[in-house]
Amino acid sequence: MNLNDLMKQFNLGDLQKQMQQVQESMKHISVTGSAGGGMVQISMNGIMEITDVTIDPMVFEEKDISMLQDLVRAALNSLMSNYRDRVKQESAGLPFPGGFGQQ
């Protein structure tokens, strides 16, 4: 499919407007990832700014730095997975050709 066919298939002005609406709505979301049964929680807004980090004081009682590092890494991975899911949900109505931009 060439670019002219794509332009005919989609009204680019409408698509641009829809994308702007998604970007605006993303600014107002909050996503949280956690690990260790909530011992470490990290929150982020829709423009990928970390807004909160919570670490249960019990983690420090163990004095196990490698465990804390693993919990932070797992919480960040959970956060990013939740963020990707939310982005897919927010942009589900956008008509990307052939699933472009959506996994």
Q: For residue 37, what are the domain limits?
A: 28-92
User: 59 in a domain, yes or no?
Assistant: yes
* 46 within some domain: yes
Structural domain tally of the chain?
A: 1
Length of the chain: 103
pLDDT band (50, 70, 90) for residue 99: very low
Separation CA 57–CA 65 (nearest Å): 13
58 in any annotated domain: yes
Q: Which long-range contacts (CB under 8 A, 24 or more apart) does 8-12 make?
A: 9/97, 10/95, 10/97
pLDDT at 60 over 60: yes
Per-residue pLDDT tens for 31-53? Answer: 999 999 999 999 999 888 999 99
Whether 53 is in a domain gets the answer yes
Q: Which amino acid is at 99?
A: G
For residues 65 and 102, give the distance between their C-alpha atoms in angstroms, rounded to a whole number.
37
Cα–Cα–Cα angle for 67, 70, 74, nearest 5°?
140
**Would you say residue 20 lies in a domain?**
no
Which CATH number characterizes residue 46's domain?
3.30.1310.10
